[in-house]
Amino acid sequence: MKLDWRDGNQLLLLENGESFFPAAFEAMAAARSELLIETFILFDDEVGRQLQAAVIAAARRGVQVDLTVDGYGSPDLSPAFIGAMTQAGVRFHIFDPRPRIFGLRTGLLHRLHRKIIAIDGECAFIGGINYAVDQLAESSPYAKQDYAVRIIGPLAQDIQRYVREALAPTRGGLAWRRWRRGAPAAAGQGHGARAAFVTRDNHRHRDDIERCYRTAIRTAREEVLIANAYFFPGFRLLREMRRAARRGVKVQLILQGEPDMGYVRTVARLLYGSLLKDGVAIHEYTRRPLHGKVAVVDGAWSTVGSSNLDPLSLSLNLEANVLIHDRDFALALRARLLDLVAHHCRAIQPEHLPQRTMWRYLVHAIAYHTARHFPSWLSWLPRGQPSIHSFDHRGEVHAAPVAIDGPHVAQERHG
């Protein structure tokens, strides 16, 4: 796996919606020619309407705006909400919408889970923050703790090109070759952060994000600090964590203690015993649901993005992270995470775990190996080709197949 590292980037850590939304909407207001947005969740609430107003204003002043949402994560947007944007000239796309069955959403697997903003090839945002009120930390006790990063500099060109080509007409493997062989981003100015853009898809980049985590942990010398909302990685990633702890690296995990979905903590706790035995420290965040997907290694390497460390993100969904080699940024993120550990986490000790019996050991082993292998089992099942639905200025829907098994969501443009 070859990463295209870019020097000379200016990075800003954004914690929760209180920091992210003002920075993002300010950048959208400054867009001159192109504004590309991908998100898993967009709700018609206070935050969603702010995004709606921002893209409408950009389109009306002549900016080309493409907004893509996931059909599973954003299932209930009304024709009026979408129509207000398309009538102003916004190109609105829904990735693989599926019908409800008995009122329940379907099509959970293989989702567009990326959260990206790309503006004029100069500014980009990546992280785990969706467009919903529950991303505002003070909105309720159930608001999510989350992170994103603003990027100004050469890496923004890579991200812009990637998202633009995700919306290019389907041309078989050509889109992948264009991305890999596209013109490099302009060189930086010799100062600023070094960063790389890494994605996960279901064809040539199936495990790129996981491999980056494994490499960083394998080469760690002092400290590994990971905060991740949905934690159930495969054997190889767990092995690197345990090996690092055994060789004296301080490995700390910040996981959910007050999860937004009850099974999350139950599943993660299947792994606690073996991790604690090898010296990995586990802290459960208890102030509210944790939604972040970030890590810091040795106070120098860090990552921020959309990818959880669970089978959905590591094996099925379309994800995007940024990798950062910059001590100032890494130390800023590390300080914020350690503040959570100091003030809002519960340290897990071996005595907190249920007594291990043969029956419990058997249940844990079956659950672990089922979760570990189920993505590969699912790949054998027949599945229809996903589609993307694009809405034109008349409110009409145009559906086109998408190339989910490449690094891009490819489609035809309409309206």
The residues that are catalytic are 113, 115, 120, 291, 293, 298
User: Which tokens hold the place of 84?
Assistant: 């207000």
Q: For strand 147-152 and strand 123-127, is the pairing parallel, antiparallel, or unpaired?
A: antiparallel
For residue 306, the 8-state DSSP code is S
Could you give the count of Cα atoms lying within 13 Å of 128 in the half-sphere of its Cβ? 25
Which of 122, 137, 151, 114 has its CA nearest to residue 329?
A: 151
- CA pseudo-torsion sign 54, 56, 60, 62: positive
Strand residue runs (E) in 96-146: 116-119, 123-127
Q: Residue 176: helix, strand or coil by DSSP? A: helix
Which of 290, 307, 303, 289 has its CA nearest to residue 114?
A: 307
Helix axes 174-181, 154-166, angle to 10 degrees: 170
Per-residue DSSP letters for 265-286?
HHHHGGGHHHHHHTT-EEEEE-
Burial 212-243 (b: 16+ CB within 10 A, else e): bbbbbbeebeeebbbbbbbbbbbeebbebbbe
Measure CA 273 to chain center: 28
User: Which tokens hold the place of 79?
Assistant: 């024709």
User: Which tokens hold the place of 224?
Assistant: 């590994």
